[in-house]
Amino acid sequence: MLDFGADIPFVKELGFSLQRMHGGESELHYEARAQHTNSYGVMHGGAVMTLLDVAMATAARSDTPDMGVVTIEMKSSFIRPARGPMVAKGRMLERTRSMAFAEAWVYDAEGRLCSHSTGTFKYVPKAQPAAGQGAGTISTDG
């Protein structure tokens, strides 16, 4: 398992593991725990969208590890219920000096596509903790 290059408490809580982050691509693995499912016993849509978001953001950061990214917009499509161990794959489609455009897919253990997403991300300096405080402030201005 690789390091995400940033402390992301929500990602730790969900239990995502980073398998690949290189050349504009990423791969994450995840198996939803009971508290991450919906009333139908499948992965909650919010957990699916977070997995897609992190896969795209990680792909966008793969060639600029000294920068962070923030999500500007994201569209997700749910194709089938997500059950069991999941694999998310992200790919950066294009980038400018300050923006990245990416997409991601989530597959189940049988390799069936469960969801797809596209997103736009803004490059920002990595958050630095302020003296005596937690995470620093990230500005999406400029």
Percent of the chain with pLDDT over 90: 80
- The C-alpha atoms of residue 85 and residue 71 are separated, in whole angstroms, by 25
Predicted structure pTM score: 0.89
Per-residue pLDDT of 50-69, as tens digits, reads: 999 999 999 999 989 889 99
Q: What share of the chain is helix, strand, coil (3-state, %, to 5)?
A: 20, 45, 40
* For the chain, domain boundaries: 9-125
CATH of domain 9-125: 3.10.129.10
